[in-house]
Amino acid sequence: MGFPGTWMTQSESMVYRVVPKCACSTIGQIMYYSDHGEFFDGDIHDAEEGLHKWAFEQSQPLIEANVLAHKSFSFTAVRNPYQRILSSFFDKICGIQRNGRRYRGNLVPLLVQKYGVETGEPENGFEFDQIASFRRFLLFARDTIRFRRPMEPDIHWSSMSGHISTFIHNGGRYDHIFHIENFNPGMRTVLKAVKTPKKVNLQKIPRFNESSGHGPKRAHPVEDYFDDLSRHLVWEIYKQDFQLFKYDFDDPSNKKPIGEIDLDEVHKKLGPKD
């Protein structure tokens, strides 16, 4: 199976397991900058050179050899599950993508037809009942994750634990996992642990939010989107994310972590079972 979703700097200074909707654009740009002294001109997900990615056949043997020998500092980042699923909804379901079209072609029409989800349109200023539509989308997300219907789960709303576990299962080990809510301290730990060809000044790094500006703005506080049923669904699909990565399930308005991540616990719970 290898190491899907894994990026590595060309200098092999660091290895990163991408978790969608967890500041991956900013982290990827920092990695690129640390090798080249400039940012990639465009969305880092579109970069086909300047960064090793598991998606590139020529990068796979280099990443695999590095990870299995644990030659470089390996890390990833996580995000509050309430915030992450909301972000997925507004970006991937309601937003118009970089190619000017809806995400995954027939996905939104399927949600409209089978789940009654509304997304609004750019022409009407994305006017729609955000709370009702999000709760219907959440039911769909649960169905894809728990029952793999009406389609396989998408990487943007499948659990963080699922993404992070593939790296461990196939022979990798994380040196650091940080909360993006504490981005600078978390990324500073990475940069202090590695030697990069170019110096990175975290205070001057912009945030690369590639999903902003092409969809509706969230009109309500986070907690308004989650009634009792919604929170039950969130617990059903993200229970392990809350527990392992120390987020507050009881208070959707609290996006900050409530504890430190225990790396040994993560490796034990997400690694191969004896």
Q: List pLDDT tens digits, range 27-50.
A: 999 999 999 999 999 999 999 999
Exposure string of 53-71, with b = 16+ CB inside 10 Å and e = fewer, is: bbeeeebbeebbebbeeee
Asked if the model's pLDDT at residue 125 lies above 90, the reply is no
In the block, which residue shows the tokens 């900013």? 26
Give the domain ranges of the chain.
6-80+156-204, 83-155+214-239
Distances (CA, A) of 257 to 57, 79, 266: 37, 9, 16
| DSSP conformation letters of 82-129 | HHHHHHHIIIIIIS--TTSS-TTTTHHHHHHHHH------GGGTS-S-
**Residue 274 pLDDT more than 70?**
no
| % residues pLDDT > 70 (the chain) | 98
Whether cis (ω within 30° of 0) applies to the bond prior to 150 is: yes
**Residue 82: exposure state from Cβ atoms within 10 A (0-12, 13-18, ≥19):** buried
Q: 246 pLDDT band (50/70/90 cuts)?
A: very high
Mean pLDDT of the chain: 94
- What are the tokens at 107? 């996905």
Decide if pLDDT at 189 tops 90. yes
Q: In this predicted structure, what is the pLDDT of residue 101? A: 86
Structure token digits, residue 259: 């504890």
* Residue 188 half-sphere exposure toward CB, CA atoms < 13 A: 8
